[in-house]
Every structure is written in structure tokens, then in C-alpha cells.
Amino acid sequence: MGAMSGLMLLDTPSLYFRAFFGVPESVTAPDGTPVNAVRGLIDMIARLVQDRSPDRLVCCMDADWRPEFRVAALPSYKAHRVADDGGDQTPDALSAQLPVIDAVLDAVGLARVGVPGYEADDVIGTLAVRGAADGPVDIVTGDRDLFQLVDDSGPVAVLYTARGIRNLQVLGEAEVADKYGIPGRAYADYATLRGDPSDGLPGVPGVGDKTAAALVTRFGSVAALREALAAGATDGFPAGARRRVEAAGDYLDAAETVVRVVTDIDSPELTGLDDRLPAKPKDPAALVELADRWALESPVNRLLNALSPA
């Protein structure tokens, strides 16, 4: 890679959910506890490090999966995912594995960070914008929300996991433009207008994919679109769209806060972050104990081999 240093940001919750549903729950520790998400995640990280050779890597976490500032703006935000006890609907068999994931990442010495009051997406947004000043940034996620961060000037690219870690789709501005028929950096504006049921984001009633793409292509952003409305512009609107967007003013105010990833978190967690890849485990004894207890020897060895190819 020469002088270019590469930063890789993992949307860790997206990856461990994918691992949990992709690896059979019959994969257990000696005591019968499922370890499918732990094993799957470690294997994913090993393969990413091996295939992409980043020299810095951060496992970004959800300190808050449904932050108050987003719910205050739009009460429907992720509302369908709230469990009866007020938490999220993480399956118990996965919840039990999360402390093990944390412990393994820490013993290996990989940077792991969440910021109180923010989602992993916001940590990724902040680190991507900050890191792009120093060279290429790869964001690994199965979540389309993060397409809004692609930026060819960084470059900041999304490695999209929808087809699996072995078949990553690398998306920059051109690929996002190609996929959705919008300017490459306008995914957040497009999602705001179209909505996203997986996040409880209603979108502008009556505005679907095509109309959303046409509006964003014509005006560039929701902000510019609303300025044009305020100025009385009538051209460039597909049939009926002008009235619909005008009627959705309150929703659009709220959606900006919900859809836009925060890119300027100022918090101690992100200040002195050491994100260099460890050549050897930070706590070898703890790692041996974890690998023993949870039957993780082979994935842990694959990860250690990927980290120190020599």
C-alpha cells in the first residue's frame, strides 16, 4: 500500500448480527452456550484483515442503539424494534455472547469504542471524516444508512456485506450513484424522502424510489429542495411531488436529525484512540483462557495469523 495508510471501521453490531444469523446456533462452547456470533465475527475480522490489509482498525459499537435525540425528533424511530422491557429485541442467545465478543476484542488488542448517547453509525461517521484526512477509509457494514458517508476525495468507501464477507461489494460515489440513480453523496437525502421501514422512517407519503431519486438528482439535497419550495419554484417536480413535499415539512425537519449520521462527536472516547493493528495479543493469557472456555481456538488463531502474517 506504500505511503497510503488504510483505516478500517467496522459496524460491529451489523457484523455480529450477521454472524449470529449466518452461523448455526448449534456451534456452542463446552458448557452448551452458543458461540456462533463470537466465532463468526472473529472469522469475519480475520478475513477482512487478510484480504484488505488495513493498518488501522476500529470496532465501532452501539453505546445506544436508539439515541434519545433521534427518538425526540421522530418517535417512530426504530419503535418496532423495542422489546417489552424497553430494550431492543436482541435474541437472548446473542445477548449472552456480547460480553465474550468484547473480552476477545480487548484481549487481542483491537480498538473497540462506543460513545454514550450515540449509535455505532455516528462513531463511524466521526472517525471516517477525521480519518479521511490521512488516507483511505473502508467502512464495513450491512446497513445502507452508511452509504451516505462515501466520499471519493478521501476516499471513503463502504464494503457492503449483503452478499457475505467473501463477496463484499465495494461502494464509492460512482457505485451509489449507479445503484440508486442519485448523486453519489446524496444517499441520506434520498432515504429521507423515500423512507426506510427497517428504521421506522416513514418517508414523504406518496414519494417512492423513483420520485425520491428524481428530486435529489434535480435539487441535490433535501435542504436545496426546500429552499426552492420556499422561493416558489415550480419546475423540476414530478407530478404531485411538490405538494407532497410541502405538506411533509414537519417530518422533513425531524428526519434530518434521524437520518444524518453524526460526523463530529466530540468525546473523550474518541480522543486518544489507538487504532493501530496489534502485531501480537495485548493480553495473551486472557486470550488463551477465553479461547479455552468458549472453544474459540481456531478462529482466534486465524485472526492472530491475519494480524501478524510474518
- Structural domains of the chain, ranges and CATH numbers in brackets: 7-177+262-307 (3.40.50.1010), 187-259 (1.10.150.20)
Quick one: which H or E segment has residue 14? helix 12-22
d(CA 48, CA 11): 13
What pLDDT was estimated at residue 64? Answer: 85
d(CA 82, CA 79): 5
What pLDDT was estimated at residue 210? Answer: 95
Q: Which of 244, 199, 200, 197 is nearest to 225 (CA)?
A: 244
* Residue 53 backbone dihedrals phi, psi, to 5 degrees: 45, 55
What pLDDT was estimated at residue 292? Answer: 97
Alpha helices in 23-113 (DSSP H): 36-52, 68-73, 92-95, 98-108
pLDDT digits (tens, 9 = 90+) for 23-47: 998 999 999 999 999 999 999 999 9
Q: Could you say which residues of the chain have pLDDT below 50?
A: 1-4
What pLDDT was estimated at residue 3? Answer: 37
What pLDDT was estimated at residue 89? Answer: 76
Residues recorded for the chain:
310
Q: Would you tell me how many other CB atoms lie within 10 Å of the CB of residue 92?
A: 8
d(CA 243, CA 50): 52
